[in-house]
Structure 1
Amino acid sequence: MEVSAQTSELEQIQDWKVEVNSSRDTLRSMQNRLELLSNKKSDEDSLAQIEHFQNQFIRQLEVSDEMFHDLKQCAKKISNNGQLAVLHDDRPVDDCSTMEDRMQTFRKLYNELQEEFNAFSAFS
């Protein structure tokens, strides 16, 4: 791999790590907003929605932790010229294009959750 291509991929991965960290911060903020909403709402429908969002936030934070870890592993692999110490069969970190596909999916699910929660909290 050429040094410039390697550097470019490492810079891209660093950008994704920043994006994942930012999403984690936003998810924690949404969790705090949800907690405030849960103190105001007691009807059955609202409580079901609150539980739904609690579960979604927990899962999305888990996914973001996995993504961050896997981005670090991908960067290590690139830096070590293809040698990777840990490989997850269920979470491929083979190359930058694989991680790009995973980041697109991560963004899509994160944005959908954020939009859904913002719609819910706007009416509460």
Structure 2
Amino acid sequence: MENGIIYNSNLHFEHQRWKGELAFWKDELKFFNNRLSELVTRWTNKDVLAQLEHYQNEFVLHNEVIEEMLEDIEEHETRIAGQSKTGADALDTQMVKKHLEFRNRLETQRHIYSELKKEFFRFLEKYM
């Protein structure tokens, strides 16, 4: 950001970073679901099974959030591309505002996901 101007290339770069992070989360969720599958075959205790279902639901919800965020990034990328075709390199104020809101949303999701992983790892330590 030079002279207070936010360039499309900077936003595109940040989008690429976010997409990579979200793809990593999706891969992690696959791994976590595999761990759940292993535990389902080992345990018959209703409390443990209820916890397994809880984590399964959390992983499904988190995956849905990831998909929604990826769609939002693609929508923003499409708008950037359209604007670039017109020769404009800097975004309008409304698009920058949306980008900053998304950045905050991603920060919140990072925190939520991090806490979920911590809980899940404690659970795995106890029941694996």
TM value normalised by structure 1? 0.83
Match for residue 75 of structure 2 among 53, 69, 73: 73
Write the mapping of 1:55-94 to structure 2, written as runs, cut at 5 A.
55-81=57-83
For residues 59 and 4 of structure 1, the distance between their equivalents in structure 2, rounded to whole angstroms, comes to: 33
User: Which runs of no fewer than 5 residues in structure 1 stay unpaired?
Assistant: 83-92
State the Cα distance separating 1:120 from its structure 2 match. Answer: 0.3
The letter for the 2-side match of 1:110 is: Y
State the Cα distance separating 1:19 from its structure 2 match. Answer: 0.3
Cα shift readout 1:4-60 (whole Å, capped 9, x = no counterpart)? 721011100110001001000001100001110111111111011001011111111
The letter for the 1-side match of 2:80 is: I
User: Which runs of no fewer than 5 residues in structure 2 stay unpaired?
Assistant: 85-95
CA RMSD in angstroms, aligned pairs only:
2.4
3-state DSSP of counterpart to 1:20? helix
| Structure having greater relative contact order (Cα 8 Å, sep ≥ 6) | 2
In our comparison, the structure showing a higher alpha carbon Rg is 2
For residues 39 and 79 of structure 1, the distance between their equivalents in structure 2, rounded to whole angstroms, comes to: 49
Deviating beyond 6 angstroms after TM superposition, the runs of 4 or more aligned structure 1 residues are none
1:104 is the counterpart of 2:107: yes
Pick closer, same or farther for the CA change 1:63–1:116 going to 2, 3 Å.
same
Q: Which residue of 2 aligns with 1:114?
A: 117
3-state DSSP of counterpart to 2:33? helix
Contact 1:6 1:78 in 2 (8 A): yes
What is the number of residues matched between the two proteins?
115
For residues 74 and 99 of structure 1, the distance between their equivalents in structure 2, rounded to whole angstroms, comes to: 10
The letter for the 2-side match of 1:113 is: L
Match for residue 25 of structure 2 among 23, 46, 50: 23
Greater fraction of residues in helix? 2
